Structure 1
Amino acid sequence: MSIVVEQAVQARLISSAPQLENVPARLGYEPSDPFAVRMVFPPPATLEGIEVVWTFARELLATGLDEAAGVGDVQIRPYGYGRTVLEFHATEGVAMVHIRTSELRRFLKRTQELVPSGSEHRFLDVDQDLAQLLSS
């Protein structure tokens, strides 16, 4: 059984409306995919009314807590005191959420306890990945 780190976070969805909307979200990490983290938004928080999962680099999240990071679909940067902004760019538009930086740091600490930075390669199953690639 694979060890998984999951953490619920309260995300504040930024929109053109004058008030901020709190939405539940979930961060996830699996050592079997050691470079990536997932952020899951439940159906009520999405335009499509379905669960939406964004996958991005754990290093991007770690860097974005202290300085602006990312130039693609996911961009992360500090925002004021104790908050971090995550921007998710899709063809439908841009979703921006504020999350407490302390929650993100706690999540990253838990992932580091499982897979320390720089040792991700030790958790990859290259043989299985290669076999899967060749079979398709």
Structure 2
Amino acid sequence: MTDREIPQVPPQRSGAAAAAMDLDLRTVVCPGLSVLVRARLRYHQAEPYAVYLDSHVDRDEPITWMFARELLAAGLDGWAGVGDVSVHPGVGSEAGTVFIALGGDESTVVLCARLTEVRTFLGHTECVVPYGREREYVDLDVLLRRLLEPGPPGA
């Protein structure tokens, strides 16, 4: 039985305000050499459109990427994303995996995760905020205040 054949049960609201999952990713450094990268996927109902990926490399603080939950979900079944972040499923010998490409000013890293783990994480996010109901969780007053603040965003 494949992932697509498993009957899907509608998500049940959990009452939780967040979801998180630790996972081991791998990245190919060069042909024949991959490196294990400890990571965490995070989601919070206060930012219902966003998913955070914290990668724990040899640093005091993790490197954090933010991208759309919808992008991650779409990338489980086909190519999704343009620019700094793209996601796509593995094929052939890589079936059962999902690739997350993260680009920066100087380079791009491609991380490989187990498809079942990413699918499970997305299921947990759907228990926090069901797909299609994200706008019910956006606080427009806070967003408007942030947009009207003087100075660069996040300063």
TM (norm. structure 1) is 0.90
Identity of aligned residues (%): 33
Q: Which residue of 2 aligns with 1:115?
A: 129
Counterpart amino acid of 1:104? V
Counterpart amino acid of 1:62? A
Aligned residues: 132
Q: Which runs of 4+ in 1 moved over 3 A?
A: none
Q: Alpha-carbon deviation of 1:94?
A: 0.7
Instruction: Please give the alpha-carbon distance, in whole angstroms, between the structure 2 residues aligned to 1:81 and 1:134.
Output: 46
Which of residues 34, 56, 71 is equivalent to 2:82?
71
Q: Which residue of 1 aligns with 2:19?
A: 5
SS in 1 for 2:81: coil
Q: Which residue of 2 aligns with 1:37?
A: 51
SS in 1 for 2:30: coil
**2:38·2:57 contact (CA, 8 Å) conserved in 1?**
no
Which of residues 127, 130, 135 is equivalent to 2:144?
130
- CA shift digits 1:58-90 (9 cap, x unpaired): 000000001011111001000132100110011
* C-alpha RMSD of the superposition: 1.6
**1:3·1:30 contact (CA, 8 Å) conserved in 2?**
yes
Instruction: Please give the alpha-carbon distance, in whole angstroms, between the structure 1 residues aligned to 2:146 and 2:74.
Output: 32
- CA shift digits 1:1-36 (9 cap, x unpaired): x82211101101111252211110000001000000
Instruction: Please give the alpha-carbon distance, in whole angstroms, between the structure 1 residues aligned to 2:31 and 2:61.
Output: 22
**2:54·2:65 contact (CA, 8 Å) conserved in 1?**
yes
Larger of the two Rg values belongs to structure: 2
Which of residues 53, 56, 62 is equivalent to 1:51?
62
TM (norm. structure 2) is 0.80
Counterpart amino acid of 1:128? V
**1:83·1:99 contact (CA, 8 Å) conserved in 2?**
yes
Indicate yes or no: 2:51 matched with 1:62: no
SS in 2 for 1:20: strand
